[in-house]
Amino acid sequence: MKYFVRFEESDTFVFASDLEGFFAGRYSANDFGALLEAENARVAFRLVRPTLDGPIETLRGDIEVLVLDTESRPRGRYPLWGAKLVQ
């Protein structure tokens, strides 16, 4: 697995082999920062080949996206608030 998303309120995980559309900045972290400062900012991305670790009804609230290395150790963390899973 390359990524996992942890839903903090239910401590539920979604594993994914890839994320499409998550890294929104074209050239730097400043692009992503500008997005988050915008009024009604929204980040939407697609989990590629997700594996759920719990009922889909529990997948909402604050999340943390973790980027894993080749040995499945976290190499980066991205917190996002007020998320929900859409099928």
- Is pTM, for the whole model, over 0.75? no
User: How many domains does the structure of the chain reveal?
Assistant: 1
For the segment 64-75, the average pLDDT, to the nearest whole number, is 90
CA distance 77 to 68: 9
Q: Round the average pLDDT of the chain to a whole number and report it.
A: 81
Segment 33-63, tens digit of pLDDT: 666 677 777 777 888 998 887 777 778 889 9
Segment 13-26, tens digit of pLDDT: 889 999 888 876 65
The residue segments making up the domain with residue 55 are 3-84
CA distance 80 to 84: 10
